[in-house]
């Protein structure tokens, strides 16, 4: 594992000035920031390393390989597309890290070329043989037996051929529009067709209705888990699409396109309709990458690239299927629980059992839930009780991402039909969930829910739910605040914190934020919540500066924070100043981190770790020692420009001391005790996997918390 990792780490290590320069460096110097795009690639590379980790169940390693490919797709769709657009629009000035768009694209290509090579090496040399040892076989054309070939040929004729539409390229059939990330084949031909045409080239598109992985029936194979890629079947029998002609070559390819949506919110009257129009065109937006098979001739690869407006520097060759992420279907179709993560039962406090009075339980005390170790079900049950409780008069909720068949959405519909006042803030612009959110917004509106699309120019990313209940002649509010989304599926796969509270000050704050989102008026003063885009950035800087002053005064000073990404330059410079003053800074940053830790004289008191494991680390937690009066927060916001200035976010205090201590332990301290799934960031942008010392037991934070949940 170390050899492949080390090779990659060299490829994504970012050049930095000499240490002597750092010690006296101006904190505004761009060299003190790591490049955002290369840092994101380093995260994807860490995911790929999980596919190589023999300590992880085999089919889960396959999933991690697929996740690394999906991450790389999104990287091109969003980040590479953004850098390319800067170049095209003449914005050639360096970014915060000092790299120009052209230099960034050059560094990105070098890192991606190596990563793609390693992805296919992992598939071909490690995972495929390991799967075969477990009688899960991915059969290439060269190893098909006669009976298997006969069955596949029949399957091709009956299930695949009828939905394929080959397109010969000639003046009457110009190059077609190719859908984003769709599987296609360029076919080299010789001979004349029925009309005397001889173009020499045809395209075949594989509709998305066709499964990309085909299971061979057990009666035709040696076991129940023999699979073939759709691309292999099309390659084998492609000549049947071109009767009477000679097929000289068949080469799969895939194009990746810019997937950002561009809607001028100030110039439109109906955001949902405008987004739907943009979504129709997203699949055919500007191309940013072309993937071709390794055996594709250069002439054909260049021809395809030219048709997509791409140069040779945007071509990536694949030693296998161009849609490698489709291997995840093998995991879904293979019934081998011994090769997957073992199931575990999330705990749920007895006081929050669905048969009890959840409002009474929350009125007595705040409840803190750590998902997925604590079940998300109490949040659903609370809403269900609110729907069925005649004393509940109003329900307000934000929805950023939620499942297609979300129980929460169904309950909101029931509440509206039961005559309750229901207001839902639906963020239509949640990337890649736009269509799903338009659909659920329509469903809610048809049920009588007041649906609001948030604020022009600001995505609503806060996770809040508010219930108003009449008790003994007075109105009382109950709230849920979270670091994650209202998505029951991701609540089982992402680590996040939920707070259930009846604290009057906190509930009033949530009410005021909902007023801002659904109505008009100036931002109101909040009691306990900290909100962006108004004061979260300033408040965090003030708390960092406070710790800095404590350190200068010789007092104990600590800053612990966990987030998905850290990119905002002013926050990074504040942390550098804190480190120089002697503040102990411990950060858990899962993905992008533009801060350089461990630099003598600059950031030698800062450590940065990334935890990767079974669950996606998603929670945002901030903790400040404050000279013996600690402050601990959960939040929806990362320390990025977009979260701090361009989104509606909430940061909520964990007021009960034991709950706050639990947040610090389970989010920060255990992550720094982890010597199994933790990666430590170095000053040059390189990540090193943390190993236990000879006298240490192996500790993995997620495994430990699963065990504690099972013992509760």
pLDDT digits (tens, 9 = 90+) for 74-108: 999 989 998 998 888 777 888 889 999 999 999 99
Question: In angstroms, rounded to a whole number, what is the distance separating the alpha carbons of residues 317 and 323?
Answer: 12
Clarify whether residues 317 and 370 are in a common domain. no
User: What pLDDT score was predicted for residue 7?
Assistant: 32
Clarify whether residues 575 and 621 are in a common domain. yes
Domain that holds residue 177: 137-339
**Helix or strand (DSSP H, E) at 700:** none
Over 90: is that where the pLDDT of 173 sits?
Answer: no
Clarify whether residues 478 and 608 are in a common domain. no
User: What pLDDT score was predicted for residue 24?
Assistant: 58
Clarify whether residues 99 and 39 are in a common domain. yes
User: What pLDDT score was predicted for residue 712?
Assistant: 66
Q: Which of 254-263, 315-324, 453-462 has the highest mean pLDDT?
A: 315-324
Q: Which of 309, 339, 369 is the last residue of a domain?
A: 339
CATH at residue 330: 3.30.1840.10
| Of the listed ranges 174-178, 499-503, 658-662, 682-686, the one predicted with least confidence | 174-178
> In Å, how far are 140, 143, 149, 151 from 146, measured between CA atoms?
13, 10, 5, 9
Clarify whether residues 449 and 586 are in a common domain. no
Clarify whether residues 412 and 506 are in a common domain. yes
Clarify whether residues 355 and 484 are in a common domain. yes
Over 90: is that where the pLDDT of 195 sits?
Answer: no
Clarify whether residues 516 and 538 are in a common domain. no
Clarify whether residues 443 and 329 are in a common domain. no
* Number of domains comprising the chain: 4
Over 60: is that where the pLDDT of 21 sits?
Answer: no
Question: In angstroms, rounded to a whole number, what is the distance separating the alpha carbons of residues 377 and 354?
Answer: 9
Reported as a single tens digit per residue, the pLDDT across 646-661 is: 999 999 999 999 999 9
pLDDT higher for 560 or 86? 560
- Residue 93's CB: how many other CB atoms inside 10 A? 8
Nearest to 322 by CA among 239, 394, 208, 229: 229
- Asked whether residue 126 is domain-assigned, the answer is no
149 among the known binding-site residues?
A: no
Alpha helix segments (H runs only) across 432-558? 434-446, 504-518, 536-552
Q: Which structure tokens are listed for 572?
A: 């990074």
Q: What is the mean pLDDT of residues 351-356?
A: 92
Q: What is the mean pLDDT of residues 304-324?
A: 95
User: What pLDDT score was predicted for residue 267?
Assistant: 44
Looking up tokens 């309950």 gives 411
DSSP 400: S
Reported as a single tens digit per residue, the pLDDT across 30-54 is: 899 999 999 999 999 999 999 999 9
Percent with pLDDT over 70 in the chain: 90
177 among the known binding-site residues?
A: no
User: What pLDDT score was predicted for residue 1?
Assistant: 36
Q: Which structure tokens are listed for 323?
A: 């849609």
Percent with pLDDT over 90 in the chain: 74
Clarify whether residues 143 and 11 are in a common domain. no
The per-residue pLDDT of the chain, averaged, comes to 90
Q: At 11, is the pLDDT very low, low, confident or very high (cuts 50, 70, 90)?
A: very low
- Asked whether residue 229 is domain-assigned, the answer is yes
Residues 6+ apart with CB under 8 A from 105: 80, 83, 84, 87, 313
User: What pLDDT score was predicted for residue 15?
Assistant: 52
- Asked whether residue 344 is domain-assigned, the answer is no
Phi-psi region of 469 (alpha: psi -120 to 50; beta: other; left: phi over 0): beta
Clarify whether residues 306 and 388 are in a common domain. no
pLDDT higher for 686 or 274? 686
User: What pLDDT score was predicted for residue 504?
Assistant: 97
225 among the known binding-site residues?
A: no
Question: In angstroms, rounded to a whole number, what is the distance separating the alpha carbons of residues 440 and 437?
Answer: 5
CATH at residue 368: 3.30.870.10
Q: At 610, is the pLDDT very low, low, confident or very high (cuts 50, 70, 90)?
A: very high
Note whether 553 and 545 are within 8 A (CB): no
Q: Which of 283, 304, 339 is the last residue of a domain?
A: 339
Q: Is the dihedral of CA 614, 618, 619, 624 positive or negative?
A: positive
Q: Tell me the Cα Rg of the chain.
A: 27
φ and ψ at residue 562, rounded to 5 degrees: -130, 135
Reported as a single tens digit per residue, the pLDDT across 367-418 is: 999 999 999 999 999 999 999 999 999 999 999 888 777 899 999 999 999 9
User: What pLDDT score was predicted for residue 176?
Assistant: 84
Nearest to 596 by CA among 72, 23, 8: 23
Q: What is the mean pLDDT of residues 9-18?
A: 46
User: What pLDDT score was predicted for residue 700?
Assistant: 96
| Of the listed ranges 111-120, 430-439, 451-460, the one predicted with least confidence | 430-439
458 among the known binding-site residues?
A: no
Reported as a single tens digit per residue, the pLDDT across 660-679 is: 999 999 999 999 999 999 99
pLDDT higher for 283 or 102? 102
Q: In what order do the strands lie in the sheet with 137-138?
A: 137-138, 226-229, 213-215
Nearest to 682 by CA among 612, 596, 566: 596
- Asked whether residue 162 is domain-assigned, the answer is yes
Q: Which of 491, 524, 557 is the last residue of a domain?
A: 524
564 among the known binding-site residues?
A: no
Phi-psi region of 554 (alpha: psi -120 to 50; beta: other; left: phi over 0): left
**Catalytic residue among 370, 458, 461, 480, which?**
461
Reported as a single tens digit per residue, the pLDDT across 207-245 is: 999 999 999 999 998 888 999 999 999 999 999 999 888
Q: What is the pTM of this model?
A: 0.91
Q: What is the mean pLDDT of residues 325-335?
A: 94
- Asked whether residue 131 is domain-assigned, the answer is no
> In Å, how far are 42, 78, 120, 521, 583 from 6, measured between CA atoms?
12, 27, 17, 55, 31
Establish whether 173 is a catalytic residue.
Answer: no
Clarify whether residues 305 and 449 are in a common domain. no
Nearest to 122 by CA among 256, 215, 8: 8
User: What pLDDT score was predicted for residue 5?
Assistant: 33
- Residue 691's CB: how many other CB atoms inside 10 A? 12
Alpha helix segments (H runs only) across 334-482? 358-364, 377-388, 407-417, 434-446
Q: At 196, is the pLDDT very low, low, confident or very high (cuts 50, 70, 90)?
A: low
Q: What is the mean pLDDT of residues 591-619?
A: 96
User: What pLDDT score was predicted for residue 431?
Assistant: 66
Over 90: is that where the pLDDT of 583 sits?
Answer: yes
Reported as a single tens digit per residue, the pLDDT across 122-142 is: 999 999 999 999 999 999 999
User: What pLDDT score was predicted for residue 10?
Assistant: 33
- Asked whether residue 127 is domain-assigned, the answer is no
CATH at residue 36: 1.20.58.310
């Amino acid at each position: 594992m170390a050899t492949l990792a080390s090779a990659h780490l060299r490829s994504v290590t970012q050049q930095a000035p000499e240490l002597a320069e750092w010690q006296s460096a101006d904190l505004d110097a761009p060299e003190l920031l790591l490049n955002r795009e290369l840092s994101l690639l380093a995260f994807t590379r860490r995911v790929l390393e999980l596919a190589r980790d023999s300590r992880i169940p085999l089919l889960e390693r396959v999933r991690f390989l697929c996740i690394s490919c999906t991450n790389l797709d999104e990287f091109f769709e969003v980040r590479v597309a953004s850098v390319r657009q800067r170049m095209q629009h003449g914005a050639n000035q360096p970014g915060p890290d000092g790299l120009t768009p052209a230099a960034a694209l050059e560094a990105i290509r070098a890192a991606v070329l190596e990563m793609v090579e390693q992805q296919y090496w992992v598939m071909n040399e490690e995972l495929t043989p390991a799967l075969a040892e477990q009688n899960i076989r991915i059969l290439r054309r060269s190893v098909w037996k006669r009976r298997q070939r006969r069955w596949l040929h029949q399957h091709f004729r009956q299930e695949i051929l009828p939905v394929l539409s080959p397109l010969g390229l000639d003046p009457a059939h110009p190059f077609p529009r190719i859908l984003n990330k769709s599987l296609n084949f360029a076919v080299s031909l010789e001979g004349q067709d029925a009309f005397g045409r001889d173009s020499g080239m045809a395209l075949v598109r594989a509709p998305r209705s066709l499964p990309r992985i085909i299971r061979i029936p057990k009666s035709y194979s040696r076991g129940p888990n023999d699979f073939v890629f759709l691309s292999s079947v099309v390659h084998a029998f492609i000549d049947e699409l071109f009767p009477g002609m000679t097929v000289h070559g068949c080469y799969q390819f895939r194009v990746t396109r810019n997937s950002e949506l561009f809607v001028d919110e100030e110039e439109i009257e109906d955001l949902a309709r405008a987004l739907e129009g943009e979504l129709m065109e997203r699949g055919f937006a500007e191309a940013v990458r072309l993937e071709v098979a390794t055996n594709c001739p250069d002439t054909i690869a260049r021809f395809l690239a030219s048709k997509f407006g791409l140069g040779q520097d945007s071509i990536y060759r694949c030693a296998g299927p161009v849609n490698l992420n489709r291997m995840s279907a093998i995991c879904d179709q293979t019934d081998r629980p011994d090769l997957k993560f073992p199931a575990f039962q999330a705990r749920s406090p007895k006081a929050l059992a669905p048969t009890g009075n959840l409002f009474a339980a929350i009125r007595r005390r705040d409840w803190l839930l750590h998902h997925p170790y604590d079940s998300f079900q109490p949040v659903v049950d609370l809403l269900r009780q609110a729907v069925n409780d005649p004393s509940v008069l109003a329900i307000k909720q934000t929805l950023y991402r939620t499942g297609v068949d979300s129980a929460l959405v169904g309950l909101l519909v029931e509440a509206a039909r039961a005559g309750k006042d229901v207001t839902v803030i639906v963020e239509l612009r949640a990337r890649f969930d736009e269509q799903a959110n338009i659909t659920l917004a329509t469903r809610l509106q048809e049920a009588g829910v007041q649906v609001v699309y948030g604020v022009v120019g600001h995505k609503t990313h806060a996770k809040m739910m508010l219930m108003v209940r009449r008790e003994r002649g007075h109105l009382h509010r109950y709230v849920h605040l979270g670091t994650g989304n209202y998505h029951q599926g991701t609540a089982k796969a992402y680590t996040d914190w939920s707070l259930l509270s009846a604290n009057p000050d906190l509930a009033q704050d949530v009410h005021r934020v909902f007023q801002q989102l659904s109505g008009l008026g100036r931002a109101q003063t909040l009691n306990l919540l900290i909100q962006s885009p108004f004061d979260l950035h300033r408040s965090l800087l003030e708390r960092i500066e406070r710790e800095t002053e404590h350190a200068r005064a010789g007092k104990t000073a600590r800053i612990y924070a966990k987030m998905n990404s850290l990119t905002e330059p002013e926050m990074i410079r504040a942390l550098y100043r804190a480190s120089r003053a002697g503040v102990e800074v411990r950060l858990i940053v899962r993905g992008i981190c533009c801060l350089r830790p461990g630099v003598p004289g600059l950031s030698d008191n800062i450590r940065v770790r990334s935890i990767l494991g079974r669950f996606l680390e998603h929670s945002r937690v901030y903790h400040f020692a404050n000279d013996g009066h600690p402050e601990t927060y959960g939040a929806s916001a990362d320390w990025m420009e977009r979260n701090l200035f361009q989104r509606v976010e909430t940061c909520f205090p964990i007021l009960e001391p034991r709950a706050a201590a639990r947040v610090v332990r389970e989010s920060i301290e255990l992550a720094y005790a982890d010597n199994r799934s933790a990666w430590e960031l170095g000053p040059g942008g390189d990540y090193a996997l943390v190993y236990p010392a000879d006298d240490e037991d192996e500790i993995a934070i997620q495994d430990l918390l699963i065990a504690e949940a099972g013992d509760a």
